């Protein structure tokens, strides 16, 4: 779900005065969208019971959003190039509001999937455009700071989405979690309308740009790593609540605390991944992927022990938190002057991996139970680790 977007061709002029309030509004948008995307992971049990479907079927609400986002992100970049970017931004935020309201009042699985379809459009488009928009809101020398602010929305959502969703689902009902996401969207829309200036379109990105960047070996390595590790991760993460309920047999309060630990681990993992990537992007990717593999394997083999489940889940969050920033750093160095095309490809790969993980996880949880899902996650992540470790150093020169 992390894009890598360079200043579009033709934007030699840069914002002289940083518009920090507008940058914060982008972070709010990322926070709202990522929170809404991952709410089902902590609400599958009550959602499936209320809608009268299996846990595996309810889990496809994650799949729907991911599949649509994978298509919508590059499509919006390519086909909305002639529109004012501010208007496109507001339209995407409006989709967060509408989709969350529909989900909150959904009376059937089909209605829920419609809501998740609309969220996928908003999520994909926003991710594909957000960093490019940030580049137009601050001077070039302040871009690292602006990008850090935007990405902080992801870190906060990672910490908050699962535990807050679980708590709201237990106290008020799962529908109120989506209504809260709609409220976040309304606040975000107002802040963006007040702070983001008109941003006439400048430069274009075509499908040929995205295809050309895929010819680079290091880019293909990074995307393949994403596909393997993220597929495994989301096969497990989508069904983490049923696992914690059925295997170590935690109650709602315990699950909420464990998911909070997962999120906090992810927050610090993101920081650690950034520091390590400054020294070696390849080592950072290998470490993050190996961490996901080891922790999910521990959950699969010894997750019935409550203490092991708690520690392993928190460590799993730390390991996965380091992955996006590690892969992003690797791909941005490998992409060079075609970072925007690499960003669209990265977004699509992330969403394909998320949807594939949710689909495979749904099949495995029905056939083998939650523990089998985590064994698959460990194998997929280990394959990703091996892929990076055996890749020839000569082919990595563009990324190191």
Q: Is the pLDDT of residue 7 over 60?
A: no
pLDDT 10s digits, 34-77: 889 888 877 888 888 888 888 878 888 877 888 888 888 888 87
Number of Cβ within 10 Å of residue 377's Cβ equals 31
> Considering only CA atoms, which of 263, 267, 276 is closest in space to residue 330?
276
DSSP 107: -
The full DSSP string for 29-41 is HHHHHHHHHHTHH
Residue with the bigger pLDDT between 226 and 16: it is: 226
Residue with the bigger pLDDT between 73 and 208: it is: 73
Cα 197 to Cα 4, 86, 193, distances in angstroms? 22, 7, 8
Specify the length of the chain in residues: 400
pLDDT 10s digits, 222-233: 899 999 999 999
Under 8 Å between Cβ of 189 and 97: yes
The full DSSP string for 188-229 is HHHHHHHHPPP--------HHHHHHHTTSHHHHHHHHHHHHH
Burial 154-166 (b: 16+ CB within 10 A, else e): bbbbbbbbbbbbb
Residue 387: pLDDT band with limits 50, 70, 90: confident
pLDDT 10s digits, 339-379: 556 767 777 788 788 878 888 888 888 888 778 899 999 99
CA dist 112 and 182 (Å) reads 14
Cα 375 to Cα 44, 151, 200, 232, 289, distances in angstroms? 20, 30, 49, 9, 15
């Amino acid at each position: 779900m992390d894009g890598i977007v360079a200043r579009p061709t033709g934007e030699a002029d840069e914002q002289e005065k940083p518009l920090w309030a507008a940058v914060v509004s982008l972070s709010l948008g990322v926070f709202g969208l990522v929170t809404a995307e991952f709410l089902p992971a902590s609400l599958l049990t009550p959602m499936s019971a209320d809608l009268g479907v299996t846990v595996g079927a309810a889990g496809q609400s994650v799949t729907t959003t991911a599949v649509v986002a994978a298509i919508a992100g590059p499509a919006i970049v390519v086909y909305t190039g002639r529109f004012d970017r501010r208007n496109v931004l507001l339209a995407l935020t409006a989709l967060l509001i509408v989709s969350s309201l529909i989900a909150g009042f959904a009376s059937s699985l089909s209605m829920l999937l419609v809501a998740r379809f609309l969220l996928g459009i908003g999520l994909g488009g926003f991710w594909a455009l957000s960093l490019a928009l940030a580049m137009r809101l601050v001077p070039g020398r302040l871009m690292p700071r602006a990008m850090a602010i935007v990405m902080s929305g992801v870190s906060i959502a990672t910490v908050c989405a699962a535990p807050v969703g679980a708590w709201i689902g237990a106290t008020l009902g799962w529908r109120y979690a989506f209504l809260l996401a709609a409220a976040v969207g309304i606040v975000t829309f107002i802040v963006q309308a007040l702070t983001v200036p008109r941003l006439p379109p400048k430069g274009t990105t075509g499908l040929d740009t995205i295809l050309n960047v895929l010819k680079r070996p290091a880019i293909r390595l990074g995307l393949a790593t994403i596909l393997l590790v993220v597929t495994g991760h989301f096969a497990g993460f989508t069904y983490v609540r049923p696992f914690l309920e059925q295997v170590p047999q935690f109650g709602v309060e315990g699950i909420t605390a464990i998911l909070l630990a997962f999120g906090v681990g992810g927050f610090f993992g993101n920081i650690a991944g950034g520091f390590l990537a400054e020294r070696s992007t390849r080592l950072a990717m290998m470490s993050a992927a190996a961490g996901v593999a080891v922790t999910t394997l521990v959950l699969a083999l010894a997750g019935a022990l409550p203490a092991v489940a708690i520690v392993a889940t928190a460590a799993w969050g730390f390991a996965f938190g380091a992955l996006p920033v590690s892969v992003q750093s690797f791909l941005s160095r490998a992409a060079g002057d075609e970072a925007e095309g690499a960003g669209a490809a990265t977004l699509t790969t992330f969403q394909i991996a998320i949807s594939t993980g949710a689909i495979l996880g749904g099949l495995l949880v029905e056939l083998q139970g939650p523990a089998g899902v985590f064994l698959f996650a460990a194998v997929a992540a280990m394959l990703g680790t091996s892929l990076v470790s055996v890749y020839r150093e000569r082919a990595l020169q563009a990324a190191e």
